[in-house]
Chain A
Amino acid sequence: MIDVQRPSCQPLLSVRDLVVQYQGASGAVQAVRGVSFDLASDESLALIGESGCGKTTLGLALLGLLPKAARIMGGQILYRTRDGRVVDVVRLSDAELRRFRWQECAMVFQGALNAFNPVLKIWDQVVDTARAHGFRDRTRIREQCERLLRLVQLDPTRVLDSYPHELSGGMRQRVMIALSLLLEPRLVIYDEPTTALDILTQRAIIEVLRSLRQELGFAMVFISHDLPLAAELADRVATMYAGRIVELADVRNLFYRPRHPYTRGLLLAVPPVSGPLTTVVSIPGSPPSLASLPAGCSFAPRCEFATDRCRREEPTLSTVAPGHWSACHHWSAVSLDRWMERLGGASHA
């Protein structure tokens, strides 16, 4: 097993060789194929990749929230609880899992416009959440909730007394973010929290998340297909492709010295802030169907570095520099240099 742990600290979460399989009518499909990573208790990890690469499935698996058709076929999700015990989320009983959710690990979903029960006032849903975890002191719940709502820049009195449809999309998402911190979880998973929102609201949400993390200090998994967004919030970034992590590195290293052709492709596909738009290069082809993956490296058919070896032999995640892992046979050949030259020789150091 490769060591993807940062040596200095004990991880809050370590995922080891996680395999999630969907049982479909036309056979089984693996959406997560052996994912491993560690997360420190103050760290923010971004999972990036195209739609259908298994990001959301991975996020749901961390909370034991997978749909009925999905099953964890192998691996561990080790979580260090407040009292120092290490539990495997995969093996928790239903009752333990229910307590684990939201109190230890909360999740904010993509498209949260519909995340609230339309027939209950926000305050009732807050109380529901607190009561499910045995908190019955309404005054304390109220205080905690009002504090969080003020942190996300909402007017607590107005919001708590509203029905979900009376709030705008951006407000609802902010309420959801506040609600995710109600029970002071130590890990929050954000699954594309800004996808359904307009660009200004997106900005506001990102600012809120950044300041909340400074204020309250929780670990965070940020799932996104938006690289610049991930760059703003993440300490480390994991690139996912076809159900695997193909590159994992500190955010600076990953953005300036990508060592996997897929990460490089994603970076080249981002329009530059300055410079001509012609420098945008999209990755040819489309992601493979998880039901019929090519032999060898699953990215090989779209990769300009691919050789016969890539089509034969699947590369494993291995260290390319301290704190930097890549799953590519030709990682040493991958660089952003050509892109940098086209930008006019800008330094990338």
Chain B
Amino acid sequence: MSVRRHGSPRTVQVIRRLLRAYALRRVLKAVITVWIVVTATFFLVRLMPGSPVEVYIHTLISQYGFTYDEAANQAAALFAFDPNQPLLVQYLDYLRSLARGDLGQSLVSPGTPVSSILLSYLPWTLFSAGLGLFVSFVSGLFLGMLMAYRRGGLIDHVLTALGSFFQAVPNYLVAIVLIVFLGVQLGWLPVTKMRGAVSPGVQPGLTVAFVADVLYHAALPVLTYVLTTVGSWMLLMKSSTLSTLEEDYVTVARARGLSDGRIMRAYVGRNAVLPLFAQVAIAAGFVVGGSVVIERIFVYEGIGFVLLDAINRRDYPLMQGIFFVITLSVIAANLLADLLYSRLDPRIRRHPAEGDR
């Protein structure tokens, strides 16, 4: 325990202890990061010469004969801020509307709030890429442990070769190969039917038909994610398991007469998986941003699909909204991983000053 200074008021002590709490510090850090990113985005867009807002206003004036004020009002409604106000007021307004979940309106389809577009497309990306990551991570863990326990055997050699191969192939190539060979050349998969996130006419709800349809449409993107990432999880888990198997506490556990299953789960597995959590956090953060190409290739209507569309059509508010969501997902994934990590590894639960021994 650290020595506390005598005579410091009680409230100060409470605050100090709160600041020391691992979880609270992490959450605080995440909130501050979000704020910094939001602020930076806001000022970058406004301070750029020929900002998208100005460009939009001038387009309105020159093409539709708007007066400047009319154009400015229109822009203010779309971008959720008033360009005639002082920058600081704009900034505060922006923060306030952001806090309410108001991200402005789409330029291309006026009257549609960006937030509603995000809400209708984001779930599909989170679902397909999240499922892909989950399946890939979990099967990587099991295969990696299997390889480590059977090292030098046939399974180990075959899986190592396959894992290294698929790890090296970029995901868009796998996606194209799946479409060209399985879909077009061999005709095994009805790739055109599998487009989109759901078949038209299927009613959303917790019905077997809906779930099956959703899985049917997500199958190819998920398969691509899994094929291209399972190899690296597998190899990481193998090397982590191998080094854990060398640890003294595994030998001691055997000496204590523990069953092989218990040792594998609580002694080897749990410790071997720890170093992988930092990586899974990073991977989870890029789920949203990394989906662009795959969703385009499979015409899967997720947020990556919309982002590419927004970029092509210069739909700035929508782009800004999507970037905000991407940032948020990276930060949220890291926060989640940190909190989960502290649950799994008791050694980092304490304050560094106390934990460093």
A253 to B: closest C-beta gap in Å: 32
Are A120 and B256 in contact, with the CB atoms below 8 A?
no
**Chain A window 164-180, contacts with chain B (Cβ cutoff 8 Å), 1 for yes, 0 for no:** 01000000000010010
Chain B contact residue count (CB 8 A cutoff): 24
Are B271 and A117 in contact, with the CB atoms below 8 A?
yes
> From B355, which residue of chain A is reached at the shortest CB distance?
A165
Are A109 and B248 in contact, with the CB atoms below 8 A?
yes
A272 an interface residue at 8 Å Cβ cutoff?
Answer: no
Are A118 and B271 in contact, with the CB atoms below 8 A?
yes
Are B251 and A109 in contact, with the CB atoms below 8 A?
yes
B residues 266-291 near A (Cβ < 8 Å) are 266-267, 270-271, 274
Taking A119-B345, A132-B258 as known contacts, 16 extra A-B pairs with beta carbons closer than 8 A to each other, sorted by chain A number, are A65-B251, A99-B257, A101-B257, A102-B256, A107-B255, A109-B252, A112-B248, A116-B249, A118-B346, A120-B266, A128-B256, A129-B256, A132-B256, A133-B257, A165-B346, A179-B256
> From B259, which residue of chain A is reached at the shortest CB distance?
A132
Given contacts A132-B259, A165-B357, contact A101 B254 (CB under 8 A): yes
Shortest Cβ-Cβ A-B pairs, 9 listed: A101-B257, A114-B248, A163-B346, A102-B257, A115-B252, A132-B258, A129-B256, A98-B257, A102-B256
What are some 19 contacts across the A-B interface (CB < 8 A)? A100-B257, A103-B257, A109-B255, A112-B248, A114-B248, A116-B249, A117-B253, A117-B267, A117-B270, A117-B271, A119-B270, A119-B346, A120-B266, A128-B266, A129-B256, A132-B256, A132-B258, A165-B355, A176-B252
B residues 125-145 near A (Cβ < 8 Å) are none
> From A67, which residue of chain B is reached at the shortest CB distance?
B251
A106 an interface residue at 8 Å Cβ cutoff?
Answer: yes
**In the complex, what residues of A have CB within 8 A of residue B254's CB?**
65, 101
Whole-angstrom CA separation of A100 from B255 in the bound complex: 9
Given contacts A119-B346, A163-B346, contact A114 B247 (CB under 8 A): yes
**In the complex, what residues of A have CB within 8 A of residue B266's CB?**
117, 119-120, 128
Whole-angstrom CA separation of A121 from B349 in the bound complex: 13
Q: Which residues of A approach B to under 8 Å, CB–CB? A: 63, 65, 98-103, 106-107, 109, 111-112, 114-121, 128-129, 132-133, 163, 165, 176, 179
A215 to B: closest C-beta gap in Å: 22
Are B344 and A129 in contact, with the CB atoms below 8 A?
no
B25 an interface residue at 8 Å Cβ cutoff?
Answer: no
Are A132 and B262 in contact, with the CB atoms below 8 A?
yes
Kindly identify which residue among B248, B249, B256 contacts A101, using a CB–CB cutoff of 8 Å: B256
**In the complex, what residues of B have CB within 8 A of residue A112's CB?**
248, 252
B49 to A: closest C-beta gap in Å: 55
